[in-house]
Amino acid sequence: MHSLALFTRLMAASLRGQARYPGSALMLALGQFLATGIELVAVWALFDRFGSVQGWRLTDVALFYGMVNMMFAMADALGRGFDVLGTDFLRTGNFDRLLLRPRPLALQLMGHDVRLSRLGRLLQGLVVVGWATAQGGITWGPASVALALFAIAGGVALFLGILVLQGTLSFWTVESLEIANVLTYGGVQAAQYPLAVYAQWFRRALTFGVPLACVAYYPGLSILGRADPLGAPGWVGWVSPLAGFAFLMAAFGAWRLGVRHYASTGS
Amino acid sequence: MHPMHPVQSTQRGPPAAPRNMPHILADRLVKTYRISERDPGVWGAVRGVLQRRHRTVEALSGVSFSLERGELLGFIGPNGAGKSTTIKILAGILRPDGGRVEVDGRDPFADRERHVARIGVVFGQRTQLWWDLPVGDGFDLLRDIYRVDPVRYRRTRDELVALLRLEAVLDQPVRQLSLGQRMRAEIAAALLHEPELLFLDEPTIGLDAPSKLAVRDFVQRANRERGTTVLLTTHDMHDVQALAERVIVIGHGRVLADCSVEALRARVTAGQADGSPGQTAPDDPSIEEVITRFYALHGAGES
Amino acid sequence: MTAHERLRPYGAAFASRFLQMLQYRSAALAGFGTQCWWGGIKVMVLAAFYGGAATAAGAPMSLGQAVTYTWLAQGLLALLPWVGDPEVARAVRTGSIVYDRLRPVDAYALWYVRTTGWIAARVLPRVALMAAFAAVALPLLGLQAWAWQPPAGLLAAVGFLLSALLALMLSGAMVMLLNVANIAALNERGINTLAMPVVVVFSGNLLPLALLPDRWQTLLLLQPLAGLLDIPVRLYFGQLAGAAALGGLALQAGWVAVLVLLGRAAMRRTLRHLEVQGG
């Protein structure tokens, strides 16, 4: 069976397993909804009091907020296998089972425990983008829609790359480092706002280190049709999502090293 | 019981190595583990962060053997002797530090996906099925993972279900099965894709007598009727006696014996005749006694 | 019995739980890095909204105060009543909860004291670490503007400490309610799921309550969760001084009393129910 079809099968199996406990699944979904909801409350409250942040209106920020949350939601749903690699696979010895199957490890991990509740964040992000369009008068043409999809794909790749790196670290420490949460959840928190509002060193880190700016800020600028207050040329937003894919590829390079290390030291 | 349908050339193409080469070739395998050591207590933990100390354990110090297609090999040895390490290296989930390993002409780790497509592994303690899914659904998922032709799959599955008496458990989640049921389901799961090589790690542990006999009988059939090469690790000497034409005894990371059960018995009783003091020497020691004495002769008791 | 004798079992229970929790050094460190970053990002967002100016028009607090508030919130995070005391859950699971009825001490008081010890043992190391980072390390790195500022004077400091103590007691009373829910075998996951966002918003952990819309301010101050974080911090800055300060402390104390009474009643009922069922 073709890999993509298999992935769908694994995902379906995971969802069926969760559906056996509908109460718990509903509870998780509600929890996710509320957790992302309070972030919205924070953003709204700050705008309610201050009116704008360095020239950016709530509707501008809403676009960044919506897109970043959509990216993370999808990566989060796909990347849980890497997130729990240490606790669910390495410590229990179940990782050996994955190695014994004639399929790529990454594929098997991505199909593991696909949580529908995480996709609640996707829906929220979509709604927020819709609101931003309606209230903020964003015009969507074929070009900007294509760019948005490209940016979101790049963002999914980026967040997935972070999760892959987190999984890779577990080969060495066995405990999952929660510092990775700083990059994922913290990254979402930071990238929700246009990066121009932050200090230079932070912007640099988020452009060249973990390239959140490349998948959210610059494409967002191009969609809004605004010039970058920091002076980057207009074409940057159209190609910068590639950085997300590059990041993911680098993450998989590290992952392969991790698997090699695992096979050398045993469990 | 139905006879099993004979092996046909698999849809995955011919094996990589010509048929006259050994199926498994292990050449002077060496494996060393580094275990980090830490003093107990808080102070020890702090020192542990600053300064790592290691203890090296030589799990394998040069293990060599080869296995032809269709052989049924018993792999025995005391705990900590290196059996699991060897199995893991052969399965491709552990890389040796020295020596060479070839299964069907391939390096198990480097060529992982192609290698594991043709082997079946049963680990006694851990399950390869999905905990919350019914057994039948788990089988179907494995079919997709191993890319088995649906028509062949149905035939194989039905045979296995009949032979291992799994009709009743097919729609129960694995979680709810008894140990005996789970073991039988594991063995079926390992054979759904008709592997040429089967690793069985402690397959009868904790099973009641009828289940043990069923498993033993089944393994024998798989080996004789289909020519599946079988490598069996076990502490149950009756398994060995019933099934294995050939045994390899591993101790201290080395091969201590590589012969038939009868030859092993002969070696032990001969050694006995050398005059170990104060031991009664029955004419026909049980298989457990044979093994126990063999370990003792080589100082290979449990470490 | 003298008062000392009477209080002995409770003192001992507090001390033992407190010291036991302090031993979990890795627990103290875990999440510290995450919190530093989390606080840092919140501070950066606040600085962006203030536009770099120390006070923005219409802002009820200065940027420096908002920043300090953020760090205090991170340090005092363990005060937030999200989950019940795991020891209670374990006692329920193993059935040893029944022994508490057989001891010559008040069951609620014993559990209250143990829970408070558990909370305190998690708060103190974290506050110390957070202070070391935000009050000492950040200024040393030249980031004074984003650092944890000292309190607004000696009186404010004293007020803060008193308020923090009351916050601890308040947290204990709230966690006791979660404990009782645990004992009553109510849906623990469900309660925690709903409790967390509510607690995070209304204690002031998400944003200082004063930064939330003006029209809600009175209600926000009066509700019980404000006493967990917002009131102590207002005393820290001297925003509540003199009579207002006493009012704030009284508000905290009042809620402690109400929630303790509620908890006792609930516990009595639940334990009686358990006895009927056979424990």
For chain C, how many structural domains are there in total?
A: 1
- Asked if residue A35 lies in contact with residue C197, where contact means CB atoms within 8 angstroms, the answer is yes
- C3 inside domain: no
Nearest CA in chain C to A48: C213
**Residue B5 scores a pLDDT above 70:** no
CATH number reported for the structural domain that contains residue B280 in this entry: 3.40.50.300
Q: Look up residue C270 and give its amino acid.
A: T
Phi and psi at residue B95, to the nearest 5°: -100, 130
Residue B231 reports pLDDT greater than 90: yes
Residue A10 near chain B (CB below 8 Å): yes
Tell me whether residue B186 is in a domain: no
* Alpha-carbon gap: A29 to the closest alpha carbon of chain B (Å): 20
Give the Cα separation of A171 and A217 in Å (integer): 33
Supply the pLDDT for residue A12: 87
Most confident of B127-131, B244-248, B269-273: B244-248
Instruction: Pick the more confident residue, C98 or A55.
Output: A55
Structural domain span for residue B267? 31-118+195-297
- Measure CB to CB from residue B116 to each of A1, A101, A263 and give the nearest one: A101
Report the candidate in C189, C264, B131 with the shortest Cα–Cα distance to residue A112.
B131
List the domain boundaries for chain A. Answer: 3-265
- Of A158-167, B5-14, C66-75, which gets the smallest average pLDDT? B5-14
A265 touches chain B (CB under 8 A): yes
Is residue C221 assigned to a domain?
yes
- Segment C119-137 shows an average pLDDT of 90
Average pLDDT over residues C189-204: 87
Q: Is residue C1 part of a domain?
A: no
pTM equals 0.83
pLDDT at B48 (0 to 100): 56
Q: Is C5 helix (H, G, I), strand (E, B) or coil?
A: helix
In a domain, B206, yes or no: yes
| pLDDT tens-digit readout, B140-182 | 999 999 999 999 999 999 999 988 889 999 999 988 998 888 8
**Count of structural domains, chain B:** 1
For chains A and B, count residue pairs whose Cβ atoms are closer than 8 Å: 68
* pLDDT less than 50: residues of chain A: none
Chain A positions touching B119 (Cβ under 8 A) are 100
Candidates A35, A49, A179; nearest CB to C58: A49
Q: C211–A178: do the CB atoms touch at under 8 Å?
A: no
The Cα A13–Cα B269 span in angstroms is: 56
Residues B87-105 have a mean pLDDT of 91
Per-residue pLDDT at B8: 42
Q: Which pLDDT does position C174 carry in this prediction?
A: 95
For an interface test with B, give the residue of A96, A114, A267 to mutate (most B CBs within 10 A). A96
Cα(B70)–Cα(B225) distance, integer angstroms: 10
Q: What is the pLDDT of residues C11-53, one digit of tens each?
A: 888 888 888 777 766 666 767 888 888 899 999 999 888 885 5
Question: What pLDDT was estimated at residue B2?
Answer: 41
Write down which chains contact chain B via at least 3 CB pairs under 8 A. Answer: A
Q: Tell me whether residue C22 is in a domain.
A: yes
Interchain proximity A182–C34, CB inside 8 Å: yes
**Please, which residues 111-170 of chain A have a Cβ atom closer than 8 Å to chain B?**
none
Residue B274 above 80 pLDDT? no
* B275 pLDDT above the threshold of 90: no
Inform me whether the pLDDT recorded for B72 exceeds 90: yes
Q: Which of C194, C195, C232, C180 is nearest to C76 (CA)?
A: C232
Q: Over the stretch B11-62, which tens digit does the pLDDT of each residue have?
A: 444 555 566 778 899 999 999 888 766 555 555 555 655 666 677 888 899 9
Mean of pLDDT over chain B: 81
What is the mean pLDDT of the segment spanning B235-260?
87
Chain A hits for B128, CB-CB cut-off 8 Å, are 97, 100
Mutation for A interface: B32, B56, B106, B144, most A CBs within 10 A: B144
Residue C41's domain comprises 8-277
Give the neighbours of chain C: at least 3 Cβ pairs within 8 Å.
A
Interface test mutation site (partner C, options A27, A65, A203, max chain C beta carbons within 10 A): A27
pLDDT tens for each residue of C227-270: 999 999 999 988 888 888 899 999 999 999 999 999 999 988 88
What local confidence, expressed as pLDDT, does residue C195 receive? 87
- Give the pairing of strands B72-76 and B98-103: unpaired
More confident residue, B139 or B245: B139
Q: How far apart are CA A209 and CA A203, in angstroms?
A: 10
- How much of chain B exceeds pLDDT 70, in percent? 82
Q: Give B36's strand partners.
A: B54
Among B21, B99, B77, B3, smallest CA distance to B234 is for: B77
For residue C52, give the chain A residue with the closest CA: A54
Task: Tell me the residues of C at the A interface, defined by beta carbons under 8 Å apart.
Answer: 30-31, 33-34, 37-38, 41-42, 44-45, 48-51, 56, 58-59, 187, 189-190, 193-194, 196-197, 200-201, 206-207, 211-213
Residue in A23, A50, A181 closest to C56 by CB: A50
Give the separation between CA A155 and CA A243, rounded to whole angstroms.
Answer: 9
Is residue C214 one of the residues assigned to a domain? yes
% of chain C surpassing 90 pLDDT: 41
With CA atoms as reference, report the closest residue to C164 among C77, C233, C244. Answer: C233
Classified as helix, coil or strand, C231 is: helix
Interface test with C, best of A36, A50, A52, A60 (most C CBs within 10 A): A50
Return the structure tokens found at B201: 């790690």
Nearest chain B Cα distance for residue A99, angstroms = 6
B229 domain-assigned: yes
Q: Which of C234, C231, C101 is nearest to C166 (CA)?
A: C231
